[in-house]
Amino acid sequence: MTNGHGHTITIEPSEQRVRAVHGGQVLAESDRALVLRETGCPARYYIPAEDVRLDLLTASETHTYCPFKGTASYWSLPDAADLVWGYPDPKTDVARIKDHLCFYEVEAV
């Protein structure tokens, strides 16, 4: 997707299995992640919620707005605020990331 201002977002299936780890604990592991590439931002892996240890995360009151993706919700660990985010109702052009969560640090395994 490209808007009229040169901003581009692409979403494609990851070719690698990915894992999100914090403090030595695996929070997510998936071979079904999506890679979102956005102008001016690092590539981000969006992992299906089914592959995330939601039982370890607590919903945060933090919300941010992206004009291209929509309003993001965040989740935290006791020692890591707003570690995870997702777009519960993403904009139409990025609808594929619905029901997926993103972590700041993800490793390919």
Token representation of residue 78: 């006791």
Name the burial class of residue 101, with classes exposed (0-12), middle (13-18) and buried (19+) by CB atoms within 10 angstroms of its CB: buried
pLDDT digits (tens, 9 = 90+) for 24-74: 999 999 999 999 999 999 999 999 999 999 999 999 999 999 999 999 999
Return the CATH fold of 9-108. Answer: 2.170.150
Q: Given a cut of 90, is residue 5 above it in pLDDT?
A: no
List, in sequence order, every residue forming a beta bridge with 108; answer none if it has no partner. 18
> Percent of the chain having pLDDT more than 90?
88
Domain boundaries of the chain, sorted by first residue: 9-108
pLDDT-based confidence at residue 4 (cuts at 50, 70, 90):
low
Q: Are strands 25-30 and 18-22 parallel, antiparallel or unpaired?
A: antiparallel
- Residue identified by tokens 């001016």 is 40
Task: Count the Cβ atoms, other than its own, within 10 Å of residue 71.
Answer: 13
Q: d(Cα 32, Cα 74) in Å, to the nearest integer?
A: 21
Answer whether 14's CB lies under 8 Å from 35's CB.
Answer: yes
DSSP-assigned letter for residue 8: B
